[in-house]
Structure 1
Amino acid sequence: MRALALALLPLAVACAPAADRPATPTAVADTQAPGMVSAADPRAVAAGVEILKAGGNATDAAIATMLALGVVEPQSSGLGGGSFWVRHRVGGRLDTIDARETAPMAAGPRLFYTADGQPMDHREAVPGGKSVGVPGALRGMALAHRSGGKLPWARLFQPAIRLAKDGWQLSPRFVDGLAKNGTHITPELRAIFSPGGTALPAGSTVRNPDQAAFLERLAARGADSFYVGPDAQKLVTTVRTAVRNLSQMTTGDVASYAAKPRDPVCVPYRSYRICGMGPPSSGGITVLMILKQLERFDLKALGKDSPTAWHLFAESSRLAYADRNLYIGDPDYVQVPVAGMLDPAYLASRSALISPTTTLASVTAGTPPGAPQRVRAEPAETPGTTSLSVADRMGNVVAVTTTIEGVYGSGLTVNGIVLNNELTDFDTVPVKDGYLVANRVEGGKRPRSSMAPTIVYDASGRVRLSVGAAGGPTIIAQIAKAIMGVIDFDLSAQDAIAMGLLYAPGLNATAEAGTERAAMVPALQALGERVTVGGLGLKANAVEWVGGRWVGGADPRSEGVAGDETGYVTKIKRFGKDPSRPPE
């Protein structure tokens, strides 16, 4: 941690009606408090802080942090993937950006079927070209910068270029994760970490010259150079000539990709207002549903160590996940009943199903107002994702979650970056019980995601908390848990992130191994919970406004840190090596 501090010092709804949106902050817009960056790697945090110190705002710092994460966390994110942005700007304006990947226009509902007409196993579908969606992360950055950046575009690339060109050190965690999860990566990428076929040990310095050259081109030429021209052709050729699972992607698919502004989803919760990403993210809506269904219970009185409180959390989770799985998909292709799913009367009716003393015998999706007839589908997301939160001294706040889907994505690389396997987030089987599945594959469509960057406002309209997480569908439960920890249990963001999770996307629940939740299993079972202990692979980051300053939080399960412009680095008490750590 001391090393990071030294490194930081020298671095030069559809939403509710307008009347119900977060109020303009009543406090002075310029907080004069040092800006803060929280992310899953200290070198990425240093990149974001460098940009803040250079006069950049939260949008600029978020972009620089994302670019650096793409260098030092290639297993989790990068320009070969996509992202969701939730952004608060001084004056009370809230906006969200959808930079989720898209399917090639030629993709059909049976994209992941074998030649003999059988659905492919998820593990068979991931490697190769077929799983790759048109990457959206760079278009998302460009839209964010165009609409809210401050420093020149090229300046934001400099920290990442230095990392790729001059080198960065492998951590023990990275080396271990590569050995376990990198068997499908291309020889070109493997050669960086295993020159001559021998894996480099932790502490070794690695360089990625192809990535450095690519970042330099993007810095000089802008985002369009990735979507039109030689680099776009190189991407298409890579996925269409892959050794496995050939893609149907064309240069037209790449050129036509657009990041989209979307309406945020917002609800009041106690004296706060919580805002997140709308569809095609399922994360924002589902987090809000979990919390609203819990609102009638006095969680503060129960306390964070109460088995009853966590039983209530599990019951609300399984009800919300059931609706999530049934109704949410790309809103440009399917009708998503956003307003109905967040309707207070509907959520009250769902909450009424929850008892403090018994567990539901079965769980089915409800019928929110305006709901189309759908059939439930099981998601197959995996935890190759990362998240970051940034606040600047003017009061701008950004939460971004970005991903390449599985660990090392499709395993394919181009220009030194890893390409996503995002299309395996679609449901493989397009029809169930005679009905079309909302999240089926369609040409040009964006697969449903659990990513849930979230901003919480206090009663005065000031940002209280910015939080995001990685870990596939556990993201939803992680965010709901963190917000519950801060609001209901009066915890710091750091302590709320560190709390063990009880994950219950269905009837069966998992108590996170190595945490206080595992010791709670007998008491939970006495309440009727079908719960076992297991690893969950969690990773969250947050920034909160406390005592007149920005304070960071980072997941002790990860290598994440938080640092501000003064060189202060939040102290993180790391978890030991246990099954709950992310598979990086």
Structure 2
Amino acid sequence: MSASEEAQRAADTAHQAEAQAAETDAAAPEAWTKGAMVAAADPRAVEAGLEVMRQGGNAIDAAIAVHTVLGLVEPQSSGIGGGAFMVYYDHDKDEITVFDGRETAPASTTPEHFVKDGKVMGFMEAWQSGKAVGVPGQIALYKKAHDAAGALDWEKDFQPAIRLAEDGFKVSPRLAELLASDRLKAVVRIDDLPVPSAYFYPNGEPLPVGYIRTNQDYADMLRAIATQGPSAFYEGENAEAIVAAVNSGPNAGDMTLEDLANYEVKVRPALCGTIPEGYRICSAPPPSSGGVAQNMIMGLYHYLKPTSDTATEDDFLKAFVDAQRLTYADRDHYVADADFVAVPSSDLINPAYLKVRATEAFAPDGHAEPGDPGVVLGRDPLRPLWGEDATEHKPGTTHISIIDMEGNAVSMTATVEAAFGTSLMVNGYLLNNQLTDFSREPTKGGKPVANAPAANKRPRSSMSPTLVFDDNDDLFMVTGSPGGNSIIAYVAKTLVGVIDWGKTAQEAIDLPNIIARGDTVGVEVDIDGGPEAADALREMGYTVEEREGENSGLHVIVVREDGLEGGADPRREGIAKSLD
């Protein structure tokens, strides 16, 4: 090879290397410059998340710190005796991962789990019993997520909650109000059972606002988890205490030490769909309803909303209500634990199905029924496979939205199910009553219900931790809420509010909640705009239920050109705060 040929070859190699480097740079996400933010249901929890980020932690570390504090100061909503869905976005890898820490049914569970003496147990009988407790998934979720992408030492993530539990925290107005509620005390057992009664009702009186409540048992439990890992929770003395509590009292459960030791977090791909406006909506797949329901509502809304220049706000409101009614009917019928039943998730969010489904919008006074994506998409019918199901999901839940300094994001919704779970308390925390999210009736009309109980099955959830990406596939929004089966409507309100109605994060949160599940439309009337919305829908012919005291807890972060815009639900006690 001549010198000139060698020079040309070297030049070609250098050019090729430069081209490859340019291609790699183009594919890599841009450096994150928007800052960091935490939005959650209590300022002390938010500060815990910011504290661990100042120490070098990322969004996952912050989520652990935030939630362990929430389990202390907001025990009515969530805690380590419950479970969660976490949707995590890794900015550098441009990857989304779902950590499914949903509670599971014990291995002894059958479809007749809530059938007693040949009759289906009533909800009130079931929810405050050991039969309602699922194997908790929260601690295992912490560990799985931290092992996958945490940046700070595991032990450090627990320190803010340990410190607050030992030093004591001021009882907030919301917690004090719930504990003093005669209505609540009539249906839960926290004031009757010895352990929770001594904690929440010292000297027989509910904890008042401002009372300094310590919780050494909780601090000791967290310290053991911090030093020994999840085995401190799922094995040994704590596991024995859970089993003893679950398997005692009326309508006792049948949980074993093996059930606890065998619990596994499921790592799943996010369920994402792209709406015609160009945004990609990603949430948790079944047994969560998030991926299915949020994509359905936004897709249907696109086909239902008016296009006329003369359209009014009421016309857009009607489209939102009709999109909800169609979505809830399909969600109720098809969504369950996809490890046990076939859930047509991709079919339900397929634009071809949604376009047809939008033409099936129910008359305002019509009965809501599920559609059939199998028929629409030219395959075998799917609707006849399952009995109709309208299981209620009670609102004992919290939501956390986080973006860290590297652009990683967490949307995590966590729960103990109803307020204070089952009221069963061990080692400073409450146990969930998550299994009442199953259909207590295993069959309807002679057909199995998709969401019926089964061994090691996870009950269907309305939780919708959601991430939104713009038409450049850049992170645009982190959102989610507590609120039982109304979660779907609450979260969808923020999506349509920000994406379609041009609202800020806080403005979208502040809109009145409108929940259109079934044949009745619930409208929040004790907030600006609520009475007018109720009147308008009633005028259109809808059956309207006026509601007060809605318990949404929306926490939202929107990525704007000039930084992060946060919002926190005024219906609870949270804040959204940037990292200083």
Given that 1:132 and 1:419 are in contact with CA atoms closer than 8 Å, whether structure 2 keeps it comes out as yes
Unaligned 5+ runs, structure 2: 1-24
Match for 2:170: what amino acid?
Q
Counterpart position of 2:109: 107
1:359 corresponds to which of 345, 361, 364 = 364
Alignment check: 8 A CA contact 1:103 1:443 kept: yes
Which position in structure 2 is the counterpart of 1:98?
100
AA aligned to 1:321 is Y
Q: 1:295 to 1:424 in 2, by over 3 A?
A: same
Partner of 1:470: 482
Aligned equivalent of 1:409: 421
Give the Cα separation in 2 of the matches to 1:111 and 1:240. Answer: 14
Query: Secondary structure of 1:62's match?
Result: helix
Partner of 1:522: 535
Partner of 1:555: 569
- Per the TM alignment, residue 404 of structure 1 is displaced from its structure 2 partner at its CA by 0.2
Q: How far apart, CA to CA, are the structure 1 residues paired with 2:284 and 2:152?
A: 26
Whole-Å separation in 2 of the counterparts to 1:331 and 1:303: 44
* Alignment correspondent of 1:505: 517
SS at match of 2:455: coil
| Counterpart position of 2:553 | 539
Contact map agreement 1:86 1:453 (CA 8 A) in 2: yes
**Distance in 1 separating the partners of 2:100 and 2:487:** 17
- Mapped to 2, the partners of 1:60 and 1:302 lie a distance apart of 48
Output the amino acid matched with 1:141: Y
Contact kept in structure 2, 1:170 and 1:204, CA below 8 Å: yes
Residue 392 (structure 1) aligns with = 404
Kindly, what percent of the aligned residue pairs are identical? 39
**In structure 2, distance between residues paired with 1:303 and 1:73:** 46
- Note if contact 2:401-2:479 (Cα within 8 Å) is conserved in structure 1: yes
| Number of equivalent positions | 539
- The corresponding residue for 2:205 is 198
Q: What SS does the aligned partner of 1:473 have?
A: helix
Q: Which amino acid aligns with 1:272?
A: Y
1:520-572 CA deviation, whole Å, 9 max, x = no partner?
22222222211131133221111111133122210011101011211xxxxxx
The structural deviation recorded for 1:170 is 0.8
Contact 1:329 1:447 in 2 (8 A): yes
Query: How far apart in 1 are the matches of 2:238 and 2:440?
Result: 30
The answer to whether the 8 Å contact 1:511/1:531 transfers is: yes
TM-score, with length taken from structure 2: 0.90
| Per-residue deviation, 1:300 | 8.9
* Alpha-carbon distance between aligned partners in 1 of 2:366 and 2:495, rounded to the nearest angstrom: 27
User: Residues of 2 paired with 1:447 and 1:283: CA distance?
Assistant: 14
Structure label with greater radius of gyration:
2
1:240-251 superposed matches below 5 A: 240-241=247-248, 243-251=249-257
- Is residue 496 of structure 1 aligned with residue 498 of structure 2? no
Give the 3-state SS of the residue equivalent to 2:410 in structure 1.
strand
Contact residue 545 and residue 551 of structure 1 kept, 8 A: yes
Residue 149 of structure 1: aligned partner: 150
Structure 2 equivalent of residue 441 of structure 1 = 453
CA contact (8 A) 1:304 1:485 kept: no
Residue 258 (str. 1) matches residue 241 (str. 2) = no
Aligned partners of 1:302 and 1:435: how far apart in 2? 47
Residue number among 342, 345, 349 corresponding to 1:342 in the alignment: 349
Matched, 1:58 2:70: no
Aligned counterparts of 1:300 and 1:344: Cα–Cα separation in 2: 18
In structure 2, relative to structure 1, the CA distance for the partners of 1:520 and 1:549 (3 Å cut) is: same
> SS of 1:83's equivalent?
strand
Matches of 1:463 and 1:481 in 2, distance apart? 19
- The answer to whether the Cα contact below 8 Å between 1:52 and 1:61 also exists between their aligned partners in 2 is yes
* Structure 2 match to 1:129: 130
Return the alpha-carbon distance in structure 1 between the equivalents of residues 468 and 26 of structure 2: 13
Moved over 6 A (4+): 24-27, 299-305
When you count helix as a share of all residues, which structure comes out higher? 2
The structure-2 alpha-carbon separation of the partners of 1:92 and 1:361, relative to structure 1 and needing over 3 Å to count, comes to same
What's 2:174 paired with? 173
For residues 466-517 of structure 1, the C-alpha deviation after alignment (integer angstroms, 9 at most, x for no partner) is 0010000110011111000000011111111111122110111111121212
Matched with 1:314 is: 321
Q: Compute the displacement of 1:119 (Å).
A: 1.1
When the two chains are superposed, the root-mean-square deviation of aligned CA atoms in Å is 1.9
Whether the aligned pair in 2 keeps the contact of 1:277 and 1:454 (CA below 8 Å) is yes
Call closer, same or farther: CA 1:559–1:438 in 2, change over 3 Å.
same
Are the aligned partners of 1:469 and 1:539 in contact in 2 as well (CA < 8 Å)? yes
Alpha-carbon distance change, 304 to 123 in structure 1, aligned in 2, over 3 angstroms? farther
Question: What amino acid is aligned across from residue 553 of structure 2 in structure 1?
Answer: K
